[in-house]
Amino acid sequence: MYFIDRVAEMRRLDNFLHRESGGLAFLWGRRRVGKTRLLIEWCQKHAGLYSVADESAQPVQRRYFAEAVASRFHGFAEVEYPDWRSLLRGVSRAAASASWRGPIVLDEFPYLVASCPALPSVFQNWIDHEAKEARLVVVLAGSTQHMMQGLALDAASPLYGRAVEAMGLRPMKPGYIREALRLRAAEDAVRTYAVWGGIPQYWELAEPYGADLDRAVQAIVLDPMGPLHLEPDRLLREEMPPALSLRPILDAIGMGAHRTSEIAGRLGQPATSLARPLTRLVELGLIRREQPYGEGGRGGKRTLYDIEDPFFRFWFRVVAPHRAALAESPRSLRMQVWKKARTALFAETWESLCRESVPILSRALGALGHLGPWGPAGRFWRGKGPEWDIVSYSLDGKALLLAEVKWHERTAAEDLVDHAFRDLVSKGLPDLPGIGDARIVQAVFLPTFLPKVKKMSFQGPIVDCDDVLAALR
């Protein structure tokens, strides 16, 4: 699959490279998110030096790095380097002699630190002296997010405060999956995103199947020999420190436990023991903490947890509860498991994308431009009362957007719009501060809308998949 998007990230790296004094940058992101591809593209663009570490012993790791340096400085690897200090000094001397400033990228840096715990201190000394004198541009990257963030942001780390740039690479924006997989229909893009999320490597695996999502899911995930059949376990195991102990929490949430007390009950643990593991899963971008719109703070009885990453949500809803059955069943029965769950997954993903798009929607909400711009959107619920799918105040606080989100597997007609509008009106108004002074704007979000001649009772904005995906790019 060709290189797509990452415009903002590439611009930040370019700006960092053009610093006259050089410096150190950190870049991290979960595995498969496209970090390596971005760094390779950047190095090729600027004739840089890219090296990736593995889990070998220190002498082997140094040898591999020296071989990578030798691709730019002939004969560099012919010298034996007894430690990292001598190797790094050799790099800065060779670069200074050639008046070359980089960039130098060391990918999967945590593997080097795992085999040599003193390496951050060695790097600190090198960055502060030899690399600084040579004005080198150096990037340390890694997929173990917890460790990389600690190296860059923990005050106890030797490298703390040395970074000119520290960037966490997020999954690809939803709007690009349609282009990447050449999907003609916007609804197919939403369905596909509900399975693969924004992870480029998953997109590459799915690319040969085009819009045939059922066949892709069967071959890549449901089949016990599929490349992603055990993907979550693999990702959790490869974190540093390993996060496999967090797996039961994801199982519990996948099975429908969303409150801390419910998760604790499923696991047979006290709720107080879950604060730290839940926080780590949030930091890893795997789950999200949600409260009713307008409520702040981290706690509260109404706080809910759900799986944030689309692929993890799909896997823990479809694969995890049926692992034994999937291993022993023929293809037809595997597909039954998938088809039973897919519509709910599509609907949940669609609702999430709609909320995410609200602050940046332009074409669909253009008629309301004089009331916007809109702030971040959320859900609102209280007790056993109704739930509003989308709630958002305008940034000036003078207007409140209330929207109903519907997913359907057929072309939307006027009767469906009116049905959604009636559902929205029947809920009344949410119990929010300042609502009495705000102008209420009502909207409907549907995958597709093909209007006919018939006049509808609803005259507000109707937002479809094309609008949402165009905003989320």
Domain end residue (candidates: 326, 349, 372): 349
Closest to 425 measured CA to CA, from 445, 452, 444, 406: 444
Q: At what angle do helices 247-254 and 275-283 cross, to 10 degrees?
A: 80
| b/e burial code for range 138-157 (CB count within 10 A of at least 16 → b) | bbbbbbbbbbbbbbbeeeeb
Residues 156 and 109 in one domain: yes
Query: Residue 70 domain-assigned?
Result: yes
Note the helical H segments in 109-169: 109-115, 119-128, 130-133, 145-153
Query: Residue 98 domain-assigned?
Result: yes
- pLDDT higher than 80, residue 129: yes
Distance of alpha carbon 128 from alpha carbon 133, whole angstroms: 8
Residues 334 and 186 in one domain: yes
Q: Per residue in 223-277, pLDDT tens? A: 999 999 999 999 998 887 788 899 999 999 999 999 999 999 999 999 999 999 9
Domain count, the chain: 3
Query: Residue 233 domain-assigned?
Result: yes
pLDDT at 453: 42
Residues 447 and 330 in one domain: no
Pairing of strands 163-168, 23-28: parallel
Closest to 84 measured CA to CA, from 55, 54, 104, 112: 112
Distance of alpha carbon 300 from alpha carbon 293, whole angstroms: 13
Residues 11 and 86 in one domain: yes
Averaged pLDDT for residues 33-48: 93
Closest to 311 measured CA to CA, from 206, 181, 187: 206
Closest to 349 measured CA to CA, from 191, 173, 216: 191
Residues 137 and 185 in one domain: no
Domain end residue (candidates: 296, 320, 349): 349
Q: Residue 394: what residue type?
A: S
Burial status of residue 427 (CB atoms within 10 A of its CB: 0-12, 13-18, 19 or more) = middle
- pLDDT higher than 80, residue 457: no
Burial status of residue 204 (CB atoms within 10 A of its CB: 0-12, 13-18, 19 or more) = middle
Domain containing 289 — which CATH number? Answer: 1.10.10.10
Distance of alpha carbon 456 from alpha carbon 251, whole angstroms: 44
- pLDDT higher than 90, residue 31: no
Q: Per residue in 180-205, pLDDT tens? A: 999 999 999 999 999 999 999 999 99
Which element (helix H / strand E) includes 274?
none
Q: Please answer whether residues 382 and 293 qualify as being in contact, where contact means their C-beta atoms are separated by less than 8 angstroms.
A: no
Q: Residue 17: what residue type?
A: L
Q: Per residue in 356-394, pLDDT tens? A: 999 988 656 655 555 668 899 999 998 888 999 999 998
Residues 322 and 208 in one domain: yes
Distance of alpha carbon 147 from alpha carbon 114, whole angstroms: 10
Domain containing 121 — which CATH number? Answer: 3.40.50.300
- pLDDT higher than 60, residue 298: no
Domain end residue (candidates: 349, 369, 389): 349
Q: Per residue in 61-111, pLDDT tens? A: 999 999 999 999 999 999 889 999 999 999 999 999 999 998 999 999 999
CA 362 to chain CA centroid, nearest Å: 23
What is the extent of the structural domain holding 163? 7-168
Evaluate the CA torsion angle 228, 229, 232, 236 in order and state its sign.
negative
Query: Residue 2 domain-assigned?
Result: no
Query: Residue 1 domain-assigned?
Result: no
**Mean pLDDT of all residues in the chain?**
89
Residues 181 and 329 in one domain: yes
Query: Residue 32 domain-assigned?
Result: yes
pLDDT at 180: 92
DSSP helix/strand/coil, 121: helix
Which element (helix H / strand E) includes 90?
helix 84-97
Residues 257 and 361 in one domain: no
pLDDT at 382: 87
Closest to 347 measured CA to CA, from 420, 452, 251: 420
Percent of the chain residues topping a pLDDT of 70:
93
Residues 164 and 147 in one domain: yes
At 230, list the tokens.
Answer: 């055990």
Residues 250 and 143 in one domain: no
Query: Residue 33 domain-assigned?
Result: yes
Distance of alpha carbon 68 from alpha carbon 61, whole angstroms: 11
DSSP 368-436: GTTT--B---EEE--TTS--EEEEEEBTTSSEEEEEEE---SS---HHHHHHHHHHHHHT-----TTGG
Residues 342 and 362 in one domain: no
Residues 67 and 32 in one domain: yes
